[in-house]
Structure 1
Amino acid sequence: MNDVIGGLPPDFSEHCPELARHGGLTAAILATAAEHGLGLGDELHAPEPDWTPTVAEFDSPRGRMRVNLRPAERVFDIALYSDRGWFSRWADGITADIVETTGVLTAWKHGATLTELSRRFPFMTYTRLSQGYDEGNEVAVMWDQQIGDPTFAQYRGLLTALRAEPQLAQMFPFFSMWTLRLVKDSYREQPGELLIRQKDDGSYLLWSSSETEEDQREFRRLDDLVAAAAALRTTL
């Protein structure tokens, strides 16, 4: 195929000749945006570390947007990220239409909510936590999810008691290596967090991110743990 730029993988040229003419997915998406009057802009960069013409990345005020082309299937795998929050991948979707793909990127770049996005493009899906971040109630959503998660059923009493304490209820809870972490800021990592681990005998260990294992305090009564956690929060 004479009009295909060299360096493209064979399956790209074979299955997607109209895209191959542009020399890669990034250029094909930009050309689609221009053709259909979509305000995607030209803010783009090659994925690292190894750029491939079957991958396109674009910037948006909300975070990175990434599209992977599966040439043999002739579908576009879309992932939308946000630089807000602990869990950055907010929405995913697959479509065989490059115009729809470009429309998703443009809508996300220009501030469409997750609800609006999925209404316009039903193939786009997102998690309840992502919606919580989008709507500004991510802390309450995360408490609900952690308390209702059967994986952490043994922590349910602890989570319920902690959430009942108003100061602790403002913290963002999640588990890492079976340790409960309560962070002050649900949007970025910072030193201010409490850590709680339940021991095999049912007792609890409590410490803060600024402390070492030697500073861990042990509690057998849940009420005592909650009170100590609330007091420790004021020192973060």
Structure 2
Amino acid sequence: MATENEGPRRKSSDLLNSDLYPDLIESGGLVSAILHASRANGIELGPVRPGSESKDSHFVSAVTDSDRGPMRISLGVEERWFSISIESNTHTWASGGTQDIASAIKVLETWQKGVSLQQLNTLFPFMHYDDLAQARELGDPVATQWRQILAEGDPFFSQTLLHTIHSNDRLRTLFPFLSHGTLRLARDHSDRTAGEIWITPLRTGEHQVESTTPGEPEKVIERADQVIDAVIELLDRP
């Protein structure tokens, strides 16, 4: 019996559209349906768990793992759709979807076997990836990310300063993000714990330079040509 805090136990039919997902209702939700369809197709995915900590998550989302990160399936609401996201700890490798649960499971199995992005797309044309994911797979996403940022720019960040930062041999090796006018330079594109340096233009025309590493002071730089020196100073801190 459910406790007072848990509330009444819900059934798959309470959350799933019977016209779209009769098979999932019969199985008891998405997680159970994936396990059932895997066995029926002779596929061994390993443990499959709900996609979130919500008590009803197992009805509508599921996650299993690969050597390159988690793989998620979630359900469409307005049409029968198994949305697939193949991820890592820092980014998405590929995404797509299908109306057929068996095809979705075969995508996960195929990725677990170690295929490349190109091979995955060839086998399952509904799975898509971008240039940055391809560059990550090849081991050098930094140059691709810089190329995209330099081409797209940001209305709140000086394009001249952006090119100046990129022209510095050392700063060009950092992985860049542009978000709401702030240029974020990641020390290691594969490790979020390695920290970032942020460059933010201020309304006064100055620039604030700061590190996400605890204990390191932020600086307000008066001239744009001093920004690079301030960033390198933060990089050189032990």
**Normalised by the shorter chain, which TM-score bucket?**
0.7 to 0.9
Tell me which residue corresponds to 2:201. Answer: 198
C-alpha change, 1:188 and 1:130, in structure 2 (3 Å) is same
1:44 and 2:78 equivalent? Answer: no
> What's the secondary structure of 1:94's corresponding residue?
strand
Residue identity matched to 1:186: H
1:208 and 2:211 equivalent? Answer: yes
Q: CA deviation at 1:168?
A: 0.9
Tell me which residue corresponds to 1:68. Answer: 74
> What's the secondary structure of 1:15's corresponding residue?
coil
| Alpha-carbon distance in 1 for matches of 2:207, 2:40 | 61
Answer whether contact 1:16 1:71 (CA < 8 A) is retained: no
Tell me which residue corresponds to 1:17. Answer: 22
1:151 to 151, 154, 158: 154
Runs of 5+ in structure 2 lacking a partner? 1-9
> What's the secondary structure of 1:122's corresponding residue?
coil
1:220 and 2:223 equivalent? Answer: yes
| Alpha-carbon distance in 1 for matches of 2:149, 2:204 | 22
Answer whether contact 1:92 1:124 (CA < 8 A) is retained: yes
1:166 and 2:172 equivalent? Answer: no
| Alpha-carbon distance in 1 for matches of 2:176, 2:131 | 15
Residue identity matched to 2:237: T
Tell me which residue corresponds to 1:123. Answer: 126
C-alpha change, 1:230 and 1:117, in structure 2 (3 Å) is same
Answer whether contact 1:146 1:152 (CA < 8 A) is retained: no
1:180 and 2:183 equivalent? Answer: yes
1:140 and 2:143 equivalent? Answer: yes
1:34 and 2:36 equivalent? Answer: no
Answer whether contact 1:165 1:230 (CA < 8 A) is retained: no
Residue identity matched to 2:60: T
**Across the two proteins, how many residue pairs are aligned to each other?**
224
C-alpha change, 1:92 and 1:14, in structure 2 (3 Å) is same
C-alpha change, 1:153 and 1:221, in structure 2 (3 Å) is closer
Tell me which residue corresponds to 1:8. Answer: 12
| Alpha-carbon distance in 1 for matches of 2:28, 2:187 | 47
Residue identity matched to 1:90: W
Q: Which has the higher contact order (CA 8 A, sep 6+)?
A: 1
Runs of 5+ in structure 1 lacking a partner? 1-5
TM-score (norm. length: structure 2): 0.81
RMSD: 2.5
| Alpha-carbon distance in 2 for matches of 1:71, 1:13 | 11
> What's the secondary structure of 2:237's corresponding residue?
coil
TM-score (norm. length: structure 1): 0.82
